[in-house]
């Protein structure tokens, strides 16, 4: 396992992205449509932030949705199935595993809860979008 990202809920994904890019040196790494909104990944070196449009605050399988809150933390593995098997009954799955091959071939994710209920995403196969696909064309 290795660190992947921290996911934040935002009132405006683009405004929040501009803040982190301008003041902290992040760059857009990937963007994926979600209904009328999008999920945006920012990167600085090996550090990623995943930005979500805030929701009504109700908890979801991938974490709480209220603006200004941490949605989840994420770790990357080479094999989700092996990671879940290793966790055994302590793997309290809240969502998934889901396959995101439509966006990045080989990208799979599952969300589990830690003993205090914090959502931890376990992901495999995520990588930045290529310049051809762009992150929002930027």
Taking the C-alpha atoms of residue 5 and residue 117, their distance in angstroms, rounded to an integer, is 18
Strands 92-99 and 108-113: antiparallel
The pTM is what?
0.83
Span 94-120, mean pLDDT? 93
Summarize pLDDT for 41-89 with one digit per residue, the tens.
999 999 999 999 999 888 889 999 999 999 999 999 999 999 999 999 9
Establish if 136 belongs to a structural domain: no
Establish if 129 belongs to a structural domain: no
Establish if 131 belongs to a structural domain: no
Q: Can you give the residue range of the structural domain that contains 17?
A: 2-124
Q: Residue 37: what pLDDT? A: 87
Taking the C-alpha atoms of residue 91 and residue 115, their distance in angstroms, rounded to an integer, is 10
For 101-109, the CB contacts below 8 A with 24+ separation are 103/30, 103/32, 104/30, 104/129, 108/80, 109/80
Q: How many domains does the chain have?
A: 1
Establish if 132 belongs to a structural domain: no
Read off the CATH number of the domain in which 114 is found. Answer: 3.10.180.10
Alpha-helical segments (H) within 7-112: 13-24, 80-87
Establish if 43 belongs to a structural domain: yes
Summarize pLDDT for 111-127 with one digit per residue, the tens.
999 988 899 999 999 98
């Amino acid at each position: 396992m290795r660190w992947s990202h921290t996911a934040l809920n935002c009132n405006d994904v683009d405004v929040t992205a501009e803040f982190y890019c301008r003041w902290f040196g992040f760059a857009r790494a990937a963007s994926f449509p979600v209904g009328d909104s999008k999920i945006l990944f920012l990167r600085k070196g090996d550090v990623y932030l995943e930005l979500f449009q805030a929701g009504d605050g109700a908890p979801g399988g991938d974490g709480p949705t209220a603006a200004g809150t941490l949605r989840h933390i994420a770790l990357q593995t080479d094999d989700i199935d092996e990671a879940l098997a290793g966790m055994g009954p302590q793997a309290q799955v809240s969502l998934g595993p889901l396959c995101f091959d439509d966006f990045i071939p080989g990208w799979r994710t599952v969300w589990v809860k830690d003993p205090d209920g914090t959502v931890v995403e376990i992901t495999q196969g995520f990588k930045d979008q290529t310049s051809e696909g762009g992150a929002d064309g930027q």
